[in-house]
Structure 1
């Protein structure tokens, strides 16, 4: 749900209402969302290197998982998120922030220059998940990792899937393109990584379309 939806090209068009709403929403609801997924994040992000690239950093929810003094290359095109993101880096976590106002399909980083990429609740929003994963593979050096926590489509025929289908349009409009019906395990396994470990799990929250999730690591 973190805003990183993109249009063709390398720019992101901020909606005058939704951009500010999403920045405020994730600032307020971030602690609750983090409480729901923290066990998975703590496991995946336990040994992050000192420099990390994050797709869709939003308002900085994942900075708590970086060691003080780390460098975060934050790929976040939604400008209304930036004030809170900078404040989180400077005041709360002592993180050196390298903010890139670009989309995940076109990070602008050199080939094989990165040891670790992370994302949480981001691949649901991008226009082309396969293109984003190709970009991750391009910038990761051999042996690097892509660590992800994402929400996905529920199994076909379940009440959760029916609700996801019923709410897909207002959900996508509210959360700037976020889809609650993507089977993200498929593009992750097809992206050409050397290995992909995926753990499916379910949350129990009032945000029912968001409750079917996966977490894992892809190895370059």
Structure 2
């Protein structure tokens, strides 16, 4: 299984040994993906400023793309991810506010964030619609949701059938990850004023190679 997932929900009910192992895998298994995706992330995060909330930051691979003057809050439910995030923040000289919690119930005030960030998280949350409504709730009017997620392959393709067939096993091994989730449709159906994204294929095992990247804007 490709080790590319950060998790915003499902680690809460997992045993400590699994959470510790998953955190180690995220810290040591993603270098190739991060190198490939660096230019896309750099372009995506160029607009970040002021108050930024990241859901499921994992071991902190996105921190290096953020300007040093933002106020960063991270909601990460796996406590074994926290030392990796803190170490990365210290390396970069960033002052961070790292909290436990889940993406379905963000302990953040209404209309308080200029931006929310999610990368490789929405595949694993228990209730995607609820997460997107929480994102909208905490964003300021006109605030931006930046996302980069692996998604379902096109309907009718062999890859889509494989994704669907392997899902029960994949969810178990990947801590709740859905390889065939149509995340772009959930984004379109949420109450954002505007959703702009593009599909692309990452140089990864086929199951997780279909991805989307984009920005959604809350109504002003």
Unaligned runs of 5+ in 2: none
Relative to the length of structure 1, the TM-score reads: 0.92
> Which of 211, 214, 217 pairs up with 2:215?
217
Q: Is the 8 A contact 1:70 1:95 kept in 2?
A: no
* Alpha-carbon distance in structure 2 between the residues aligned to 1:96 and 1:50: 13
* Alpha-carbon distance in structure 2 between the residues aligned to 1:21 and 1:170: 18
Deviations 1:131-183 (A, max 9, x none): 00000000101111000000100012222213212321222112210110100
Greater Cα shift, 189-198 or 152-161: 152-161
Cα 1:219–1:70 change in 2 (3 A) is: same
Cα 1:50–1:29 change in 2 (3 A) is: farther
Greater Cα shift, 60-69 or 111-120: 60-69
* Alpha-carbon distance in structure 2 between the residues aligned to 1:120 and 1:78: 16
Partner of 1:124: 123
Partner of 2:7: 3
Unaligned runs of 5+ in 1: none
Relative to the length of structure 2, the TM-score reads: 0.92
Q: What RMSD over aligned residues (CA atoms) do the two structures have, in Å?
A: 1.5
Q: Is the 8 A contact 1:51 1:70 kept in 2?
A: yes
* Alpha-carbon distance in structure 2 between the residues aligned to 1:136 and 1:70: 18
Q: Are 2:45 and 1:45 aligned?
A: yes
1:125: Cα distance to partner? 0.5
Which secondary structure state, in structure 2, belongs to the residue aligned with residue 46 of structure 1? Answer: helix
Greater Cα shift, 30-39 or 175-184: 30-39
